[in-house]
Structure 1
Amino acid sequence: MTDAQQEQDAAPQAGARFAWTRRHTLTVVVICAALILDTIDISIMNVALPPIKSELGFTEAGLSWVVNGYLVTFGGFLLLCGRIGDILGHRRMLIAGLVLFAASSLAAGLAPNAETLIVMRAVQGCGAALISPMTLALLARIFPEGPRAKAIAAWGMAAGLSGILGLVLGGLLTIGPGWRWIFLINVPISALVIAGVLLWIARDHRPARRTQRFDLTGAVLSTAGVTLLTIGIVQSSQTGWTSPTTLLPLIVGLALLAAFTLHEARAKDPLLPFTLLKIPNVAGANVTQALVGGGMFAILYIATLYQQEVLHYNPLQTGLGSRDPRAATSSTSSARPSSSASAWP
């Protein structure tokens, strides 16, 4: 470890005078780039769904798993991966997550069929679950209280902008080299981020706390419960809410989440300490985030399909939220009046 790296890690110590240097700026850039890889892969997929559906032969219900496969494993393993980083080291686990993310992106970009793509999207979500909590933990480790607010503000801004950037970049890649490059482009970018982590972020120097447990049971229960609930909701669009293929996964999913709640209440090292939820600000923030996230992801999925399959936008126009006026004359759907497209903002 270099002297500069030792100084960087020593910054948060009590009484230490902190001086923001070029190294700290590069550290924030690298960490934000790692976070953007995670968050951009949620929105970047939406504009490419119609060509993916056409080329790989997805059904309507199966197509939703191109998005849900990523989100379910990302959300399900987020708590567990955060604990793994606390025990094994945040920098080490950030690199591991980036490697897993890059490898699964390569496999997804080369996927020969729908099943392979869905599986690789789920593996991508696991890599993202390793990356995201490590980025925030590293900012907390490197920066003391005052400068930490500045670094976390940049982190939050990167997460917000990546949603918009994902729609535009997804449109450009889809109408350009093709939808597969939405995944393949992650490989060189991940390599650059890994190089930045190795150059600008100091090694994990604290000894691992072996007394803590991973709480694998909690992670399996929560992930399986959320997955089954999602399957039930997706099935409802095809078979109805009263069908056994809808009710069974919904009931089992709710039962697993109930078991997760009981397990966490008794666990020595729970993934989700319920004492946190007793703090009004924490509980309110989580409820708000759940409502905002649920609404945003749903509208992104529905709106992008509507724009392309009903209004006949191309992927770039969908990402930009605007349409070339000449597209109305080239539409193959003569039954659709041109005014319906112009009514879309």
Structure 2
Amino acid sequence: MSTQSHHPAVSPPLKHQVHATDDEQAVARRPWTVLALMLAAQIMVVLDVSVVNVALPSIAADLHLSSSNYQWIVSAYVLLSGGFLLLGGRVADLFDRRRVFLTGLTLFTLGSLTAGFADSALALISARGAQGAGAALLTPAAMSIVMASYTGRQRATALAMWGTVASMGIAAGVLFGGILTTAFAWRAVFFINVPIGVAVAVGVLAKVRFAPTPTASRRQLDLSGAVLLVTGLITLVYAVESTTSHGWTAPHTLAAAGIAFALLAGFVVNERKVESPIVPPTTWRIRSLVSASTVMAGVTGAVVGAIFLSSLYLQQVLGSSPLVTGLQFLPLAAFITLGAAAAAKALPHVGAKKLISLGLVIATAGALVLSLVDSDPSYVADVLPGFALLGLGVGPMFVAISVAAMGDVAPEQSGLASGLMMTGHEIGAALGVAALTAAAGDITTRAGIVAGSQDAFLAVAIGLVALLVPTFLLPAHDPATTPAAHGHGH
């Protein structure tokens, strides 16, 4: 019921309130401090998907990375984050969300500190995995805190801001990575998280209330399902990555793909047999959540893969320095932000479904423009128009996806639902980088990057068009925004 999904669950006295006027007055007085703290943490999580991209050549020279290590420094983070997000969402729903958030924040911050001191590829990839595991606890707990802290129009605004962070953070990460790498060397891209993590932890202890755990709903956690899911996804990405060096039909690739399929099939069987699966069967019946999460996976894969390839293209084909490369991504971040801001205002009037469809069309045009770059490119004439269209398309989509996904979700399921949505975000990122790297082929030479980028961006365009199918399955109206608009009389 929509009335249930708009109950503020942060303080027990509000649980049984039935008077709308009292509820609206309480909402009106609710400060944005909690949202600011959650967004600060989430910005770190999203930035770290791409903040290492521009730093990769410097890291490679310092730690003597092989070409395969490039992808795993990105993939280790998003795979562990995405693979454990569903378990993290379940934990956030069953236990005190503040404690779960602080546990994830601590693990993420310690992983960042360890990554900053890493002296080998294995140490850095392992630390990136620890960051990802911390993010898997932090993100759904943060969304759960936001959903419990706000209701009505405030919640719709908070979700739109959350979507804006998700959309612009990846592009902004490249900019910050370039600035930090140039000013302080590559280790700064990890060290910067430490003081931010400490400051957020102090703020949360002061401003976010302890939420008692409902003992009746506490059940055994599905750790076996989580392990099967993570190992299956890691093996799948390894299989996709292997196509670059071994080919699509090599025994090595086919064996990895077969193992990945067996592990993921084992996860599906496990979920049907265990008493408390990571994703309760009823969750899969929430059409808006499942469809939006599917679109989230595809869009994020396209964007993260595009940024990964573009950062190599700008440095190795155009000859840009890390700082200049970061600045060249600034228009992409600006157009994403512009698109997201426009979408936030249009969302109550247009609806998420139409915004996502429009965004897919615009982003597809941007990918096609980027697929036309040749061996004698100009940033302003060839790259910038593609970035502009891609950003204007992606910005509205992330805002609309966040609202569409959470629209039919009750507060007590918000951690799990955000975990499913952000699983699409992270797994899409990992598979996007792996798939586009495979589509591009040899990206170690200038000629290889030029030819590979053309093929990869054409694949991005085809993938974005295909996402119109799950978009059509979204409901025409957004339950999260419509009642709020009616309830306030405007």
Q: Same fold (TM over 0.5)?
A: yes
For residues 208 and 45 of structure 1, the distance between their equivalents in structure 2, rounded to whole angstroms, comes to 42
Further displaced range: 115-124 or 262-271:
262-271
- Counterpart residue number, 1:242: 249
Return the match for 1:297 from 271, 285, 304: 304
Check conservation: 1:109, 1:184, Cα contact below 8 A. Answer: yes
In the TM superposition, residue 157 of structure 1 has moved relative to its aligned partner by: 2.0
Residue deviations 1:45-101, cap 9 Å, x none? 211111111211111111100000001100100011111222221100111111111
Check conservation: 2:10, 2:149, Cα contact below 8 A. Answer: no
2:17 matched to 1:14?
A: yes
Return the match for 2:283 from 264, 270, 276: 276
Check conservation: 1:173, 1:182, Cα contact below 8 A. Answer: yes
Q: Cα RMSD between the aligned structures?
A: 2.3
Further displaced range: 186-195 or 160-169:
160-169
Structure 1 segments unaligned to the other structure (5+ residues): 1-5, 324-336
2:205 matched to 1:188?
A: no
In the TM superposition, residue 171 of structure 1 has moved relative to its aligned partner by: 1.0
Paired letter, 1:48 = A
Return the match for 2:52 from 22, 45, 53: 45
For residues 179 and 209 of structure 1, the distance between their equivalents in structure 2, rounded to whole angstroms, comes to 48
Q: Secondary structure at the match of 1:270?
A: coil
Check conservation: 2:225, 2:271, Cα contact below 8 A. Answer: yes
Return the match for 2:81 from 68, 74, 84: 74
For residues 36 and 303 of structure 1, the distance between their equivalents in structure 2, rounded to whole angstroms, comes to 22
For residues 196 and 118 of structure 1, the distance between their equivalents in structure 2, rounded to whole angstroms, comes to 30
Task: Give the aligned length.
Answer: 327
Return the match for 1:308 from 290, 300, 315: 315
- Counterpart residue number, 2:377: 340
Check conservation: 1:32, 1:158, Cα contact below 8 A. Answer: yes
In the TM superposition, residue 267 of structure 1 has moved relative to its aligned partner by: 2.6
- Counterpart residue number, 1:198: 205
- Residues 137-216 of structure 1 aligned to structure 2 (within 5 Å): 137-209=144-216, 211-216=218-223
- Counterpart residue number, 1:330: none
Residue deviations 1:1-28, cap 9 Å, x none? xxxxx98664565335343577621111
For residues 87 and 51 of structure 2, the distance between their equivalents in structure 1, rounded to whole angstroms, comes to 26
Return the match for 2:69 from 54, 62, 66: 62
Return the match for 2:109 from 99, 102, 106: 102
For residues 131 and 322 of structure 1, the distance between their equivalents in structure 2, rounded to whole angstroms, comes to 27
Paired letter, 2:60 = K
Q: Secondary structure at the match of 2:55?
A: helix
Q: Secondary structure at the match of 2:320?
A: coil
For residues 162 and 14 of structure 2, the distance between their equivalents in structure 1, rounded to whole angstroms, comes to 19
Aligned in 2, Cα 1:322/1:125: closer, same or farther, shift over 3 Å?
A: closer
Q: Secondary structure at the match of 2:184?
A: coil
Further displaced range: 259-268 or 96-105:
259-268
For residues 306 and 127 of structure 1, the distance between their equivalents in structure 2, rounded to whole angstroms, comes to 31
In the TM superposition, residue 260 of structure 1 has moved relative to its aligned partner by: 0.8
Check conservation: 1:106, 1:184, Cα contact below 8 A. Answer: yes
- Counterpart residue number, 1:334: none
Paired letter, 2:229 = S
Residue deviations 1:108-161, cap 9 Å, x none? 001001110000001100000011000111112222344322222222222223
For residues 231 and 116 of structure 1, the distance between their equivalents in structure 2, rounded to whole angstroms, comes to 19
For residues 46 and 9 of structure 1, the distance between their equivalents in structure 2, rounded to whole angstroms, comes to 45
Check conservation: 1:61, 1:238, Cα contact below 8 A. Answer: no
In the TM superposition, residue 281 of structure 1 has moved relative to its aligned partner by: 2.2
In the TM superposition, residue 341 of structure 1 has moved relative to its aligned partner by: 4.3
Check conservation: 1:100, 1:127, Cα contact below 8 A. Answer: yes
Residue deviations 1:250-305, cap 9 Å, x none? 11011111111111123321112343333432332122112111111211111111
Identical positions, percent:
35
For residues 22 and 184 of structure 1, the distance between their equivalents in structure 2, rounded to whole angstroms, comes to 37
Paired letter, 1:68 = S
Check conservation: 2:179, 2:322, Cα contact below 8 A. Answer: yes
For residues 26 and 217 of structure 2, the distance between their equivalents in structure 1, rounded to whole angstroms, comes to 34
For residues 163 and 315 of structure 1, the distance between their equivalents in structure 2, rounded to whole angstroms, comes to 16
Check conservation: 1:307, 1:318, Cα contact below 8 A. Answer: yes
In the TM superposition, residue 190 of structure 1 has moved relative to its aligned partner by: 0.2
Aligned in 2, Cα 1:31/1:209: closer, same or farther, shift over 3 Å?
A: farther
In the TM superposition, residue 209 of structure 1 has moved relative to its aligned partner by: 4.8
Further displaced range: 279-288 or 107-116:
279-288
Return the match for 2:233 from 221, 226, 229: 226
Paired letter, 1:175 = T
Structure 2 segments unaligned to the other structure (5+ residues): 1-8, 331-373, 385-490
Aligned in 2, Cα 1:243/1:209: closer, same or farther, shift over 3 Å?
A: farther
Paired letter, 1:110 = F
For residues 295 and 262 of structure 1, the distance between their equivalents in structure 2, rounded to whole angstroms, comes to 30
For residues 195 and 133 of structure 1, the distance between their equivalents in structure 2, rounded to whole angstroms, comes to 19
- Counterpart residue number, 2:354: none
Paired letter, 1:125 = G
Q: TM-score, normalised by structure 1?
A: 0.88
In the TM superposition, residue 241 of structure 1 has moved relative to its aligned partner by: 1.9
Check conservation: 1:226, 1:253, Cα contact below 8 A. Answer: yes
Aligned in 2, Cα 1:262/1:315: closer, same or farther, shift over 3 Å?
A: same
For residues 13 and 161 of structure 1, the distance between their equivalents in structure 2, rounded to whole angstroms, comes to 38
